[in-house]
Amino acid sequence: MIFDRTRYPDLPGVYIMKDAGGAVIYVGKAISLRSRLSQYFGKPGNQKTRLLVSQISSIDFLVTKTGTEALILESNLIKGYAPKYNMALKDSKHFSYLAITDEAFPRLLLARRNSEGRFRMKNARFYGPFVEGAKRAISARYLRKLFRIRICGAKLPKKDCLQHHLGNCDAPCIGAIGRADYGKNVDAVRSILEGKAQTKELMGSLAARMKQASDAQDYEKAASLRDQAGSLRIFLDRQRVESRKGADEDFIWFQRAGGTLYVQLLRSRNGVIGKAESHSMAIKEQEEPEISFCLQYYAELPDRVYSNLPPADLEKLNSATGAQAFIRPGREKARVLEIASKSLVLGKLGPEILRLKEALGLEHLPVIIEAFDISTLFGEESVGSMVRFVNGKSDKEGYRRFKIKGVAGQDDFAMMKEVVFRRYSRLLRMGGPLPDLVLIDGGAGQLHAAMDGMDEAGVRLPVAGLAKKEEEIYLPGRMDTLRLPRTDDGLKLLQQCRDEAHRFAIGFHRIRRRKGYKS
């Protein structure tokens, strides 16, 4: 396998190595996918690593928000795939959860899954998983003490116990607190575990108390509050790779690009993501490829299928299958679907494409970019160029050259307008695919000239100008320019497109001048 490190993001996630037959042979985790994978193909490793690398045919990956998520997802995928090069299969039993029981006066307890992936405890709602046992225990103990939630399993009423005298429990066992007030405390704990607004309020309160203690030089108390705040951040970093419900669910993200439909699918069984699949199919005219894929893929439907399809398509699928399995995700399920979406875009289209979409605020991914430049010498032998990039790579068959026809003298703006008008008026007549982004070599003047050309042609496309001197990006409707770091992948792609358009224009201009001198 020829390894290209630029195709992998500098983000946390899980990588899935496959052999020539498509079988998964190794699953690993990384804080930086790019750095970790580069290690395999750098200096020779041990014998096992060399043997593994020799059998790698392709590498898929799933992007997570944190290294902790990557650790949990790695464990689940290893159990789902059982790759031969993973020496010891990771067992999700070592991940722990917090549980709030379903009782008149609920308890806050620690919980684990059994060997079948189910919780031993019944009639409770579970939160997690949590990897670091010590921090989990600190957080549980702190939440109990802060909200005075009981932990004893004795039937109520009964005598108060030591926890009440230590100030860790409000003692509903002796009627020291009513059910309504106790329920408010339980609701507060739930909101923290679910990552809702009260969590931020609590963190802000802890920060204020910590500063107050520090100003009073009570450093021991400030350190204690700091540790409490640190343990609670575990709940802010909610894990998205395991669900609290044990339903069978699929998460599918669809992405059209360059005449192809790309599909990233995550399979969750019994509440745990255990497998990931990537598919692609050609998009044909008058076809609904997303619906076609689902109807071909599913011989048997899981309980629910979450996707980014519009409601109308979901209704068609539910009608065609006679079930109501295809639904839009809520906020919690959307977090899981986000793993599929980012992994698909970064895996199939390259990180610079996603970065450019975010940086420029584009509605669609800039898979197809067309860049324009003008070359002239005091208005003599003026020419224009257009280069085409698809998925970050130059598409030389899509290059076009223009001899300026309607502009006399040195008027770069009018020349740019003419070239852009001729390109897109012809493209509309011929029915060719329009680009996702038009890039102009120049500043505000060239940008507006290009927009005038598009207006005259009867089309409006996303457009940006890139000025050479300071590498400033000019965007329509924006007074100030956009400046990206010189190391930004999106800026590098724009520079590559702009420089190629300039090279192509200069080359054509030199040809025209040589012909002029000969005549």
CA gap 222, 224 in Å, rounded: 5
Output the pLDDT for position 517.
47
Closest among 244, 245, 257, 195 to 97, alpha carbons compared = 244
Domains of the chain: residue spans and CATH: 5-90 (3.40.1440.10), 94-236 (no CATH), 249-347 (3.30.420), 359-518 (3.30.420.340)
What's the mean pLDDT in 343-368?
Answer: 79
Phi, psi torsion values for 282, nearest 5 degrees: -70, 140
CA gap 228, 377 in Å, rounded: 69
In angstroms, the Cα distances linking 176 to 156, 159, 167, 170, 465 are 12, 11, 12, 6, 70
Angle between helix 412-430 and helix 444-457 axes, rounded to 10 deg = 30
Helices of type H across 255-365: 289-297, 311-321, 331-349, 351-360
CA gap 41, 189 in Å, rounded: 47
CA gap 209, 99 in Å, rounded: 28
CA gap 105, 403 in Å, rounded: 82
Is 239 exposed, middle or buried (CB count within 10 Å of its CB: 0-12, 13-18, 19+)? buried
Token match 């420029």: residue?
360
Closest among 320, 151, 130, 149 to 237, alpha carbons compared = 130
Is 280 exposed, middle or buried (CB count within 10 Å of its CB: 0-12, 13-18, 19+)? middle
Token pair, residue 243, equals 């669900």
Cβ partners under 8 Å of residue 233, min gap 6: 203
Token match 């939160």: residue?
127
Per-residue pLDDT tens digits for 86-110: 864 444 445 677 888 888 888 888 8
Give the helix/strand (H/E) hosting 481.
none
What's the mean pLDDT in 151-157?
Answer: 74
Token match 């970093």: residue?
237
Strand partners, 400: 386
Give the helix/strand (H/E) hosting 54.
helix 47-55
Q: How many CA atoms lie within 13 A of 457 on its CB side?
A: 23
The answer to which of 233-247, 250-264, 314-328, 488-502 has the lowest mean pLDDT is 233-247
Check whether 268 has a pLDDT greater than 60.
Answer: yes
Decide: pTM greater than 0.85.
Answer: no
Output the pLDDT for position 117.
63
Output the pLDDT for position 195.
59
Strand partners, 388: 370
The answer to which of 24-28, 131-135, 256-260, 447-451 has the lowest mean pLDDT is 131-135
Output the pLDDT for position 397.
87
pLDDT band at 518 (very low <50, low <70, confident <90, very high): very low
CA gap 259, 276 in Å, rounded: 23
Per-residue pLDDT tens digits for 393-419: 888 888 999 998 888 778 889 999 999
User: How many other C-beta atoms can be found within 10 angstroms of the C-beta atom of residue 94?
Assistant: 12
Whether 173 and 159 have beta carbons less than 8 Å apart is answered as yes
What's the mean pLDDT in 441-462?
Answer: 94
pLDDT band at 135 (very low <50, low <70, confident <90, very high): low
Token pair, residue 258, equals 């360059």
Check whether 349 has a pLDDT greater than 90.
Answer: no
Whether 61 and 8 have beta carbons less than 8 Å apart is answered as yes
Mean pLDDT (the chain) is 81
CA angle 35, 39, 45 (to 5 degrees): 165
Token match 């599913």: residue?
298
